[in-house]
Amino acid sequence: MTLSRPLCSYLFVLYVFIISDASALIYENIHIHGFISQGYMLSDRNNYLANTDGGTLEFNDAAINFSRQFRPNFHIGCQLYTRDIGDVGNNKIELDWAFADYRMNDLLGFRLGKIKLPHGLYNDTRDIDMLRTFIFLPPVYYDISRSTINAMNGLGIYGNVQFESFGSIDYQILNGAKRIESDSGWSRYMERRGVDIIDFDVGYAGCGALTWYPEIDGLRLGISGIYFDMDADAEINIFPLPPQYHIPGPDIQYQLNNFKIFVNYIEYTFHEIIFAAEYMIFRGDIKVETLAPDILPIVTSIPVKTDTFYLSMTYRITDFFEMGGYYAVFWPDSSDKKGRSLPLNYLGWHKETAICFRFDITDSLIFKAETHLIDGGALMMPQDNPEGVKQRTSLLLLKLGLSF
């Protein structure tokens, strides 16, 4: 096996930081932080997110951010991010977030620029491996959704409201627009529904989140929602739609109208143990319209009714060692949870258990080992499994990460 160039760079950076004391860098009052990680994925039966059947190192990411505080209540910053996971990312550098943050008072602050979406417990930190126990977050945060709900451009307001005997509430509201690349994870997901996205055009995008901290130590509950309208130009590809949705292509327009994602979440921290649960729903209507001039125009509507939830527990045993596990379920069509309308019924669900061990070798260097048992093929991509998706998959993940 030969080492790829990104892997060699990663090992070099890792070596430099291990022999030095990795901590934040400060240059001309600009604070510089970053992280880099390299993972390994191995699965049996199905390929999951990449060609994992024979093991793959196509699983890495890195980020660097720059922030400067101009006044105690005003700072500006940006973060560059790159990743590779199977066919997605390919180590292209992207602007992850970049905004100005002005906090008028405790009740009200403003953000302007490209802002991470505060959706659920972990959406805004989904790329930051060091902040959690798990390597893969549950399917509520399935990787294909990253491009759609990671960040948006716009104006945000936020704040914290303290009550006498009711605890406190954090709120955040974002309004703006967003761009989705045609080679994003969302495109890969649509491929399995029979359309090959050429170009996305997202109009209005909005997001709101409310988190309540009641007068019970360690408890937080919340709700968040994302809304946007999306148009896309697409072509029919080799993965056929179910018969009732078959469109004799080749050119179609694809519209995702009134697309809404809601999540309810709860987290309870008891000393070193953290319990978390989230229930997320996706709702909307996919309108598919043929554009080819030589065929009769056809308009088809496909309702989106996706539900997913998980329960998780993590336990920090020592400064060095932490472990955790979760059980998660994903139904692409919650009106058909048993997959009765599908050619293979197990394509109607994805049920997953995961166990993870995390080792904090130093404050900056982390190693994780994780296994998953997956039942169902709802999140297995047919394009990754040309010989057909099988019902059960075991997955082993290893990841080494460094942050400063």
Partner 1 sequence: MKICAFRFHCMLIIISIVFQLVAISCGLASDVKIIVHADIEDPLSANDIRNIFLGKKTQWEDSQRIRFVLYTEKDIYRKFIKQYVRKTLYQYRNYWRKKVFTGTGMMPVMYNKCTQCIDFVKRTKGAISFVPETCTVSDGVREISKN
Nearest distance in Å: CB 177, partner 1: 19
Report the candidate in 144, 229, 149, 237 with the shortest Cα–Cα distance to residue 198: 237
Binding mask 248-287 for partner 1 (x = CB under 8 A): ---------------------x-xx---------------
371 binds partner 1 (CB under 8 A): yes
Region of 5-13, 98-106, 177-185, 330-338 interacting with partner 1 (CB under 8 A) = 98-106
Nearest distance in Å: CB 330, partner 1: 19
Nearest distance in Å: CB 20, partner 1: 18
What 199-202 contacts at long range (C-beta under 8 Å, 24+ apart), as own/partner pairs, is: 199/232, 199/233, 200/230, 200/231, 200/232, 201/230, 201/231, 201/232, 202/177, 202/178, 202/228, 202/229, 202/230, 202/231
Which of 17, 97, 186, 282 contacts partner 1 by CB under 8 A?
Answer: 97
SS3 call for 138: coil
The C-alpha atoms of residue 11 and residue 1 are separated, in whole angstroms, by 16
Report the candidate in 143, 107, 91, 100 with the shortest Cα–Cα distance to residue 122: 143
Nearest distance in Å: CB 376, partner 1: 16
Nearer to partner 1, 58 or 101 (CB): 101
Nearer to partner 1, 83 or 116 (CB): 116
Report the candidate in 84, 86, 96 with the shortest Cα–Cα distance to residue 48: 86
Residue count, binding to partner 1 (CB under 8 A)? 62
38 binds partner 1 (CB under 8 A): no
In angstroms, what is the C-alpha Rg of the chain? 22
321 binds partner 1 (CB under 8 A): yes
C-alpha 49 chain-centroid distance: 13
Q: Which residues pair with 66 in a beta bridge?
A: 32, 78
SS3 call for 152: strand
Nearest distance in Å: CB 340, partner 1: 28
43 binds partner 1 (CB under 8 A): yes
130 binds partner 1 (CB under 8 A): yes
Nearer to partner 1, 123 or 255 (CB): 123
- Report which DSSP code applies to 90: T
168 binds partner 1 (CB under 8 A): yes
Nearest distance in Å: CB 251, partner 1: 40
The first and second tokens of residue 207, run together, are 């997001």
Binding mask 75-94 for partner 1 (x = CB under 8 A): x-xxx---------------
Which of 51, 125, 175, 383 contacts partner 1 by CB under 8 A?
Answer: 125
343 binds partner 1 (CB under 8 A): no
Report the candidate in 215, 116, 220 with the shortest Cα–Cα distance to residue 166: 215
369 binds partner 1 (CB under 8 A): yes
Nearer to partner 1, 10 or 99 (CB): 99
Residue with tokens 């946007």: 228
Report the candidate in 233, 240, 99 with the shortest Cα–Cα distance to residue 176: 99
Q: Residue 29 burial (CB < 10 Å; 0-12/13-18/19+)? A: exposed
Residues at the contact surface with partner 1, assessed by CB under 8 A: 24, 31, 33, 35, 42-44, 54-55, 63, 65, 67, 69, 72-73, 75, 77-79, 97-99, 101, 103, 105-106, 111, 115-116, 124-125, 128, 130-131, 160, 162, 168, 170, 217-218, 269, 271-272, 315-319, 321, 323, 325, 355, 357, 363, 369, 371-373, 394-396, 403
